[in-house]
Amino acid sequence: MDSWESSKIKEIEEKLNTDIKTGLDEQEAAKRLLENGKNELPTGKVTPWWVTFLHAFVEPLQLILMFAAVISIVAPVISRPGQPLGMHDFIDFIVIMMIVVVDAILETVQTVKARKSVDALKSLSKPKAVVLRNHNQKEIDAADLVVGDIVILEAGKYVPAELRIVQSADFMIDESILTGESVPVEKTHKAIAETKILAEKTNIAFMSTFTTAGRAVGIVIRTGLDTEIGKISQAIEKNEESQTPLEKKISKFGYVISCVAAVIGVLVFLLLSLVGGFEAWASYLMVAITLAIGIIPESLAAVISITLSFSTKRMAKNNVIVKKLASVETLGSVNVICTDKTGTLTQNKMTVKKVIENNKIVDAAEFVNTQLTKQKELLLKALVLPNDSITEGSERIGDPTELALVDYAELMGVDELIYRKKFERIDEIPFDSERKLMSTLNSVDSKKIAFTKGAIDQLLSICDHIMIEDKVIKLTESHKNEIMKASINLSDDALRVLAFAYKEVKNNKLEENGLTFVGAVAMIDPVRKEAVQAIEEAHAAGIEVCMITGDHAITALAIARDLGLAYEANQVISSDKLDTMSDEELNDVIDNIRVFARVNPEHKVKIVSTLQNKGYIVSMTGDGVNDAPSLSKADIGVAMGITGTDVAKQASDVILTDDNFATIMIGVNEGRNVYQKIKRAITLLMGFNLANVLSILIISLIFKISPLEATNILYINLIVESCLAIAIGMGPLDNTLMKLKPQVGKNGLLKGLILPIIKIGVLSALCSVGSFFIGMIATDVAAWNEIFKTTEKYSSINTENINSWLDQIYAIMNSKLSGIERIDLLDEYIAFGRTSMFITIVMSPLFFAHLIKLSNWKSSIKVKLLISKPLVYASLIAFVLSLGVILIPGLNDNVLGLVGYGKSATAHWTNNNIWVIFTAFSIAIVPFLLIILIDGIIFYSYHLSIANWQKNQKMLAEMINQDTKEQNKKRKR
């Protein structure tokens, strides 16, 4: 029997073989417990920290780096067979592995810090329940409840299982964690029509919801995983944790780079072997492997982790807690935000907005400041006397509607506790759903005054007088029509209207008739002002916002209008229509829907899935248990930190500690900047590596020798590159990115970067090659000729008619020396060229790294210069370190193979060749100047040389956009 809500009590007793008067006997309960299992939810699995740590090592880019580290040891063994390895041969391996380990540690620490140590679903299952067994009431563990048990519920308790109500007295339940409705729901024992909408199952008490008023008895109809909470638990488990867009892009980028590195290595080895002969294959293999490793950005993984880590810390200060590092970038990729209404877009606090006084609608804020009249004084008493809610400091106890009345009275200087003590309550008639009224009899200035509040139509039916302008007159049909017209207008704006009346009682008998209508108030859970601004920012950033709520469509549309989300009824769809739509039909209309009303948890998952299937990157925000499956399903789940349940937080990727929708946009801005910083770092690393590979390849093919040694490349990649790339990740935020459309998840990391990488690579490579040739001019040709003539080993080198270093190097290449001897000699001979090239390659990125902005330069002709202090400091540090390795004796010549001080007869610094250092440094500035020139020409051609028809198009688009904004504002009003 699935239609429990439409079944009569007797039918349920027969079906479940139980009795609401006696309950189950202990033997039958034990039997059912054994057959069906305990009434509890499964504990979520917690991944051990060491598994998270080890998992970080099997990511594609990390595997590539570890492979490169191993190759860095294997290469020297191959190139120098029989020779023992020295400590310097392990430097590359040690540094790369340190980068890999540091990245894994950062990932593990961030994950462990954000993880919850207890299972959230289990924490929601409260431990005790009062049941009727063998005619006796007893308290048992909620886990021992079985189907057919009779449970007694009282205010202030959690519902321990799913129950069909069989007895009720003014029974109210807060179901917001499940349905999203902000107002407690009155529950009845009467059978209702079968429905699939949870919020309309008014005779079912759902597990883990909270009772706020009254008393009830229910029969357990479902336990554990069979309950609505249990279904949500299973739905969360079924949602496999997928990779974030950034993780997918890094993985793809890793594969691309590994293929490129392998191809480069093979091609370089074959080219060098064909040009120089296979005799020196071991040395050529070393060059090829060095170049292959050189193209891999070893520091990228660390750069990404450090960039994300800095962003998560910065976001935490702005009330955004990120549970997974890569989720930061996902926020920046989002192009649809599906958001819960209550507490996220609204304040989750019912507030009086309008007052009906003298049959006219008055703004609540204006009414506060009006003169205190007899009529106003009576209304104030009516707000707080027939009212059981209490506010004291930060503590708020009672129904949200009654709390709103107390809050409004306090604005006019009324303290409910003082009033209730001063005007003692003598009698009362509690609220019930049939009358829709509540009345109290109070002692007011030696008189007995009855105050009644309730639904406006019900209240008017028991009134025969009305107070207008402090005068009591007979209530006419005309008065009633005026009041109801005002009430309908307020209801159309989704305001809840509550009316008030009074009468003087002579005989201490409280009766609800013959009342005098004094006024009414209209209230609503108002929107957050910051949410309105945040939605405007989202739209400007190309992000669509959809509101998903458990409220009725009329209420939802009214809120949506205030928020600037939707203005027409065709932009709203309710769950009853969703149920009748196929996936294809929903797919066709979902682009135009901005409000989803009266939804169940499964509807939220369906909405998110449909959007994802259309290629959107979807963020889902929520706070209730009912939001958990969709939070888990979304590309980025965002839970509320204050009102959010543990389940919602557990299922999410991001937690907002201030429950503010506007905070999401801070996260989006941070996410976009993270992605942009990573792309800037990749542009720097890949452009720089391309320059190294091109320059080394060109000179290697010309002179059959690598101009740079492995130690040179190692220093460049792991010191200069890493220092600058990490500093890019620590730079300031570029707020112009919020004017761009979101990044599409399917695009790779290299999208839009190919031209900047080629620009940097080609310009830097040409300057580096030029620097090599200029540096070779400092070679002492005469000294080398003398060495060739006096050294027997070099007797095959022809020194006749040699007047330049170029002639001399070709003489070495054409000599009869063995391949290894020729390479060893050339390696020593090109010391000045290597040093000059090394200086240029090391120094040039210290300048052009500041130009890799990739910012939204198309959006405005105004260029805002962002000075990154971390990048400035990193450039200075790299400059000092590089100057040190160039000038420090022993380090420059023995370790890096550069020109030193006097140890070499042919390559040492003198007054005649010191100019090489200054020339190489000057050449290093050339790429910086050329990039400024090229970018300036492109910027000028885009903004200042635009054709007239293009200008007109641009102006027309701006005018249309402005008109659209104005129309939306008018609709909103």
Q: Which residues are catalytic?
A: 340
Please tell me the distance from the alpha carbon of residue 812 to that of residue 801, in angstroms, as a whole number: 14
* Residue 235 near residue 213, CB atoms below 8 Å: no
Residues contacting 579, CB < 8 A, separation 6+: 196
Q: Nearest Cα to 61, choosing from 370, 304, 237?
A: 304
Please tell me the distance from the alpha carbon of residue 970 to that of residue 955, in angstroms, as a whole number: 23
Please tell me the distance from the alpha carbon of residue 755 to that of residue 370, in angstroms, as a whole number: 68
Structure tokens at 246: 């950034």
Residues contacting 398, CB < 8 A, separation 6+: 387, 388, 389, 390, 406
Q: Nearest Cα to 11, choosing from 197, 195, 191?
A: 191
Please tell me the distance from the alpha carbon of residue 878 to that of residue 842, in angstroms, as a whole number: 9
DSSP secondary structure string, 718-751?
Answer: IIIIHHHHHHHHTS---GGGGGSPPPPTTS-TTT
Please tell me the distance from the alpha carbon of residue 714 to that of residue 716, in angstroms, as a whole number: 5
Q: Nearest Cα to 651, choosing from 630, 680, 681, 682?
A: 630
Residues contacting 755, CB < 8 A, separation 6+: none
**480 secondary structure, DSSP code:** H
Please tell me the distance from the alpha carbon of residue 581 to that of residue 574, in angstroms, as a whole number: 11
Please tell me the distance from the alpha carbon of residue 23 to that of residue 65, in angstroms, as a whole number: 67
Please tell me the distance from the alpha carbon of residue 939 to that of residue 933, in angstroms, as a whole number: 10
Please tell me the distance from the alpha carbon of residue 656 to that of residue 344, in angstroms, as a whole number: 10
Distances 563 to 574, 594, 607, 645 between C-alpha atoms, Å: 19, 11, 21, 25
Structure tokens at 698: 């060109």
Please tell me the distance from the alpha carbon of residue 590 to that of residue 889, in angstroms, as a whole number: 70
Q: Nearest Cα to 722, choosing from 308, 296, 313?
A: 296
Using CA atoms in the order 48, 50, 55, 61, what is the torsion angle rounded to 10 degrees? Answer: 140
Dihedral sign for Cα atoms in the order 877, 883, 887, 892? positive
Coil, strand or helix at 210: strand
C-alpha triplet 837, 842, 843: angle, nearest 5°: 100
Please tell me the distance from the alpha carbon of residue 958 to that of residue 962, in angstroms, as a whole number: 6
Structure tokens at 669: 């801005």
Please tell me the distance from the alpha carbon of residue 129 to that of residue 152, in angstroms, as a whole number: 8
Phi, psi of 363 (to 5 degrees): -65, 135
- What stretch of H or E contains 75? helix 60-79
- Identify any residues that bridge with 185 across adjacent strands, giving them in sequence order: 173
Query: Which runs of E-coded beta strand occur in 175-284?
Result: 185-187, 204-205, 210-222
Please tell me the distance from the alpha carbon of residue 173 to that of residue 195, in angstroms, as a whole number: 19
* Residue 871 near residue 848, CB atoms below 8 Å: no
Q: Nearest Cα to 128, choosing from 156, 99, 92, 97?
A: 156
C-alpha triplet 252, 254, 259: angle, nearest 5°: 100
- Only one residue has tokens 């201490």, namely 508
